[in-house]
Structure 1
């Protein structure tokens, strides 16, 4: 017989977020203090063996992605943009007249999601639709003056933030990393 679920039984306990200081201390191998009570945390193992996970491309890609996406998001926060919204604006800026279909293909976004995003960016005054110059059935996308200013400001800031996050890699390593990542999705 199945037990009847209640809202109470469905709720999961919420684990308090750990501070970056605790994570840094843990990563350094020290035993962090519980910041709220001053108690010392005791771990079941002295060092976590993640060797199998670290041998997996997906695990490493995810860890690197978390770091780099964080840099991207912090940079875009100032402009109140999501990563994909910025990507749309950047592509439109570099490809005036691009169609929503081309954006979908380039960014791996479903058409209904792209239409909504274009609508939002249009309402915010960053994009405009115009008849496509070569295909009367299609609509081309163009940056407005405000959209152009935003892209012109955001792109160098993002490039600079990203460069700081990978500065510990040599120029050769950075180029190799970019080339290898692009090989995986092209």
Structure 2
């Protein structure tokens, strides 16, 4: 009798046959080998970043800052009068993503906008006294965290690591 539904496939019989392939030998892994992954720059950079980011998120929560908020506030703190265009270029941000972030920081009273001294179309971003005080504490917390998480490096090794990482993206 013909199959009523021709698009339906039949399962093979589970009967044992002498020509059935044998199953591979199964072994337990005592120690996971990640030696190949450890040769990859991206893998190592990501693992190092995750080690720091976990603590960073916890510490910045105290200040109500996400990593991008921290980065934007740090650039504004160290470059009073920086424009949104300059911020986007420095931090590799898309302008639409920065608009809401700037509004949020302004609403929180951490920054204010002032006319640019030479470009009538531009607006400079400045930290408020509250924003400057917050960033002083937040940057110290970030520095303390990074020093703790990189304690196995010498000062020279840490400096070299920073220089090498920056050669990749700068």
The TM-score, its normalising length taken from structure 1, stands at 0.75
C-alpha separation between the residues in 1 aligned to 2:95 and 2:116?
A: 18
Distance 1:151 1:58 in 2: 30
Shift of 1:162: 1.0
Check conservation: 1:96, 1:143, Cα contact below 8 A: yes
Contact 2:73 2:135 in 1 (8 A): yes
Select which of 70, 75, 79 maps to 2:63: 79
- Equivalent residue number for residue 169 of structure 2: 185
Cα distance in structure 2, aligned partners of 1:117 and 1:179: 29
Indicate whether 1:134 and 2:134 are aligned: no
Q: 1:185 Cα deviation (Å)?
A: 0.6
Distance 1:69 1:152 in 2: 19
Give the structure 1 partner of residue 24 of structure 2. none
Higher relative contact order (CA closer than 8 Å, sequence separation 6+) = 2
Pick aligned residue for 1:49 from 22, 30, 33: 33
**CA distance in structure 1 between the partners assigned to 2:139 and 2:45 by the alignment:** 23
Decide which of 34, 55, 59 is 2:43's aligned counterpart: 59
Runs of 4+ in 1 over 6 A off after TM superposition: none
Question: Any idea what the Cα deviations from partners look like across 1:8-43, whole Å, max 9, x if unmatched?
Answer: xxxxxxxxxxxxxxxxxxxxxxxxxxxxxxxxxxx9
1:124 aligns with 2:85: no
Would you say the 8 A contact 2:52–2:145 is kept in 1?
no
Is 2:73 the counterpart of 1:89?
Answer: yes
Aligned residues: 145
Q: Structure 2: where are the runs of 5+ without partners?
A: 1-6, 8-26
How far off is 1:75 after superposition?
A: 1.6
Match of 2:131 among 134, 147, 163: 147
Larger radius of gyration: 2
**Secondary structure at the residue paired with 2:57?**
helix
CA shift at 1:74, angstroms?
1.7
TM-superposed CA distance for 1:134, in Å, is 1.3
